[in-house]
Structure 1
Amino acid sequence: MKKTILLAGWLLATCPAAFAQTHYLENLKLENQRVVKVGDNVAVTADLRLDDMELKRQQSVRLVPVLVSADGMKQQELAPVLIEGKVRSKVTDRRLALGEMVEEEGTVRIKHQKGEEQTVAYQAEVPFAPWMVNGSLELRGYITGCAECNEGDEVITAGNVLPYSEPVFAMAPAMKPTEEQVKRRAEDKSARLEYRRDSYAVLPEYRTNRAELDSVQHSLALVKDNPNLTITGIYITGYASPEGSMTYNERLSQRRAQTFADYVRQHNRELKKELWHVAWKGEDWDGFRRQVEQASGWEKRQDVLQMLEGCEGSQDDCEKQIRASLSREDYQYLLDELYAPLRRNDYRIEYTVRNFTPEEARQMLETRPDLLSAAEMQRVADGYGHGSENYRKALRIALRTYPDNVAIRHNLALAEVEAGNYTEAITLLKEMEDGASLNLLGVAYFKSGNRQQAVQAFGQAVQAGYAQAEGNTTKAKEALDLWGK
């Protein structure tokens, strides 16, 4: 006998009830069977048709539905149904009335009506356990004859329950980083030369100036002597500290910037004149504030910061107010420790970089990744083979070089997901805002076991315009309903 099992909710498959050829249960009909996860429980309902069941007057069948794990190692009995013949039912009634027996809690007692239509609407609930997924439902019959003798046990399989397979999520493939038509780079440095009082002449042998000038020359040499680079501009900006008048300090910063540029240009005559650009900014009050904020061990730090907050109008007046509020020792500390770094020439070396072949780029990846474009780094990674450890290693270097590159971050996270490194992928993706990356974040959350956050991430991906995340949301919600978070 075969009956179609009607499933709903979290009943994930349908199959016929296959009954063995048994003496008592072969004519038992099971209809409208449903196995559903409801909250934290599993509810089982079915109609037991007893119309054609053969049962003698003094016999009884104790019918026990049992949920069995897929490997057969675990099981959960449900509330039993006791089907009794006419005589056996009367005997049970009498013994219960006399207190000679106690009915098992939850048992449904049915008096068999031979030759008549008879249906038992069965329902039971038990707490859900993960092992029930992809399990089966058995009906176990225990037959008792007259004098309560055991006449045998029978088992029929009533179908699979709560079947589940890990969902396959839609994911965007690896992205292609945008090609840089011209690779523009720059080196930003500062030269803190020391000058005699009220002087702007560059004195190479004065105090620490030799080391400072050597550092400037070294920075320039690294660019101009590299055949892969072409200098497009050198920008020098002079700054002064606040002591003295603003007018004087602006003129001083101009002269010091110009003499510094002249000195460096004389030692790099091969660089064309039009590459050099000189500017000056006078007193660096923003830098002064930063210096004070960083002077955590100075007891006057908070007082000076408050005065800076209240400074309005003339900066010359503000500088005089700060100087008047300090002792000689504190003002000397201000001059030596906080003002000194402000007397400087910032310089910026701008240059372009030629494009590299994949083999050249592979060799440079460890030593000068800053000279490679994100697209060149991606080609190096692709050369190692998608998903390999060297592929991920190359993309990690690329991401350190270009932390804001969406394609590189997405591709590395995708590789981490495919490698099973879900925590690493989540760390890479949780601050992303584009739809494809948010969708990938949902996949990483789901595979790490956090289905609730997976649903949220898929929802955010939909809002960000990634349409494929809608199907992923449905799959994640179904799993969430089954497994919980």
Structure 2
Amino acid sequence: MKKILYILFIALLQSQLSTAYCQLSTELLKLHSLRQVEDSVQLIMDIDLIDVRLNTERSLELTPVLSSPKGREVKMKSVLVNGRHRQKAFEREVELNGWQKQVASAHYAVIPLKAENRKVVRYRQAVPYENWMREAQLDVQTDLCGCGGEPAEWDSRKLANRIILEGVKEYNPTIHVAYIRPEAEQVKARSEQSDVFLDFPVARTEINPSFGNNPRELAKIEQIIGGIRSDKNLTVTSVLITGYASPEGNVNTNNQLARGRAEALRNYLSMRAGIPSHLYQIGYGGEDWEGLAWLVQQSYIEPKATILSIINYYNPEERKNRLKALNGGGPYQQMLHQLYPQLRRVVARIDYNAKNFNVEEAKQVIKTQPRQLSLNEMFLVANTYPEGSQQFIEVFETAVKLYPENPVANLNAAASALKAGDQVRAERYLQNVVRNTQNGNAVRDTGEYYNNLGVLEMLKANTAKAKSLFKRASEKNLDAALKNLDEIKRKEEAEKLLRN
């Protein structure tokens, strides 16, 4: 009698609340396992209450149900979630009527929806196994707002097509990715570049080390050169110094200023940096219109489109006249004070060669100076670690960060990401292979590329696409592709057994 009264109480409690507010997360339920364990069926799932919004007067009930095509069904214990006020009413009625046993029998858990309970709840429940359950599916009936069976307020969502029976196991395929060994660099040419903003007295080009911002700017370039020269693994091959001027005033004067600034920095460094004078080269940048266009594009100066059009389509003198006249000269004054000082600079590029390293040396260098390594050297370092290990993945991540435009670096980073189960990163790197113009077409037509793209599709459960890609890869004699085709075959055979 108490059980009947308790059921009537729950129905009444819900029917009184048909207009209350309830909002559910789209990821409310996550199935972990539904399988036969000896003489029972065990269900393990998560119920995510983090984003559930429930009116304080309302309740929400979730009930797992096993059902067969022939109409047989078993309801498992439900989870009852109560709003704050509803929980108080629920507790009063249970205590008043002595329904504690009925609550335990009907519900897996009764959860008051308050801050500390907004979490993922693990549901673990078992029911006796019966033969008809071989064809059973799992649904979770959700009384969305506890509205006593109102059609618009009730939902049922399927979580599993079948129970995994004893003696028949799901087959989780092993993925086989493929890597391309990068070509070795015969000469590992590298460079460092720095913009140096030197201050000069009016109409002068010789450097005064203590004038204006010169101490800071000179220290910056000396530090770069000093770091390269002090590294026994590096050899400086040239220093290119290019002077630039802002494009106001006379062109010839600006060209002379740009050249004079470049020569001044060369003379300064040749006396202090310890680099032979014959390694220095002078570049003449002159008026830096290209730099101005870039700065305008990044700025808030308007009308930006008109300014860029003037820079791009007129000769230097005409540009100056039109820019000065534009909108009464307002934009020109902004550029003159905000942008032009950034164009009066000297760019110093230090070219150097890095030595070739054996694997043991490279394993140390990658920790501190990875730019000194070639892709080939990093590939050899990666293969000293177990495939899929953290160190293995980190090496390929380092390689693609240093060589983001290189299709081989992207392909190998995709392979290591796939091995780690990271589909998002893998897809991004494979897309970079397609985008890259540096030998990208050649890499896109390799068995390794087709295979790794096939692995991505297999992980996405796009089996037909995966098969097609693996077949293309196998036509290029890639062993990994044949193994992946065999893995798909094994999975399909296991699924067939599960269906039967």
Provide TM-score, normalisation by structure 2: 0.57
Tell me the equivalent position of 1:276. Answer: 280
Tell me the equivalent position of 1:74. Answer: 133
Which residue identity is paired with 1:348?
A: R
Q: Is the 8 A contact 1:244 1:316 kept in 2?
A: no
Tell me the equivalent position of 1:57. Answer: none
Q: CA deviation at 1:322?
A: 0.9
CA distance in 2, matches of 1:409, 1:307: 40
Helix, strand or coil: the match of 2:241? strand
Summarize the alignment of residues 17-416 of structure 1 with structure 2, pairs less than 5 Å apart: 74-76=133-135, 131=162, 172=178, 174-268=179-273, 270-296=274-300, 298-309=301-312, 311-312=313-314, 314-325=315-326, 327=328, 330-416=331-417
In structure 2, relative to structure 1, the CA distance for the partners of 1:423 and 1:190 (3 Å cut) is closer
Deviation readout 1:40-97 (Å, 9 max, x if unpaired): xx9xxxxxxxxxxxxxxxxxxxxxxxxxxxx9663459xxxxxxxxxxxxxxxxxxxx
Q: CA deviation at 1:299?
A: 3.8
Tell me the equivalent position of 1:447. Answer: 459
Helix, strand or coil: the match of 1:74? helix
In structure 2, relative to structure 1, the CA distance for the partners of 1:474 and 1:354 (3 Å cut) is closer
CA distance in 1, matches of 2:245, 2:228: 28
Q: CA deviation at 1:408?
A: 4.1
Tell which has more relative contact order, 1 or 2 (C-alpha 8 A, sep 6+).
2
Q: CA deviation at 1:209?
A: 1.5
Helix, strand or coil: the match of 1:363? helix
| Structure of larger gyration radius | 1
CA distance in 2, matches of 1:364, 1:468: 32
Helix, strand or coil: the match of 1:185? strand
CA distance in 1, matches of 2:175, 2:224: 50
Q: Is the 8 A contact 1:452 1:480 kept in 2?
A: no
Which consecutive unaligned segments of at least 5 residues does structure 1 have?
1-41, 43-70, 78-128, 137-159
Deviation readout 1:210-238 (Å, 9 max, x if unpaired): 11111111111011111111100001111
Q: CA deviation at 1:421?
A: 3.6
CA distance in 2, matches of 1:384, 1:170: 17
Q: CA deviation at 1:464?
A: 9.0
- The two structures, once aligned, show a CA RMSD in angstroms of 3.8
How many corresponding residue pairs? Answer: 334
In structure 2, relative to structure 1, the CA distance for the partners of 1:414 and 1:330 (3 Å cut) is closer
Which residue identity is paired with 1:175?
A: I
Q: Is the 8 A contact 2:200 2:207 kept in 1?
A: yes
Helix, strand or coil: the match of 1:383? coil
CA distance in 2, matches of 1:408, 1:72: 54
Q: CA deviation at 1:327?
A: 4.8
Q: CA deviation at 1:455?
A: 5.1
Q: Is the 8 A contact 2:302 2:331 kept in 1?
A: no
Deviation readout 1:352-400 (Å, 9 max, x if unpaired): 1112343332233232111122222222222222232221122222221
Which residue identity is paired with 1:199?
A: R
CA distance in 2, matches of 1:169, 1:363: 31
CA distance in 1, matches of 2:215, 2:319: 35
Deviation readout 1:384-441 (Å, 9 max, x if unpaired): 2223222112222222122244444434433443344444433332343244123212
CA distance in 2, matches of 1:132, 1:323: 79
CA distance in 2, matches of 1:321, 1:169: 63
Q: Is the 8 A contact 2:289 2:311 kept in 1?
A: no
CA distance in 1, matches of 2:380, 2:461: 33
More moved, 200-209 vs 339-348: 200-209
Deviation readout 1:313-362 (Å, 9 max, x if unpaired): x3112212211335566544322211111111111101111123433322
- Greater fraction helix: 2
Tell me the equivalent position of 1:437. Answer: 449
Q: Is the 8 A contact 1:253 1:281 kept in 2?
A: yes
Provide TM-score, normalisation by structure 1: 0.59
Which residue identity is paired with 1:291?
A: L
Q: CA deviation at 1:170?
A: 6.8
Which residue identity is paired with 2:203?
A: D
More moved, 208-217 vs 188-197: 188-197
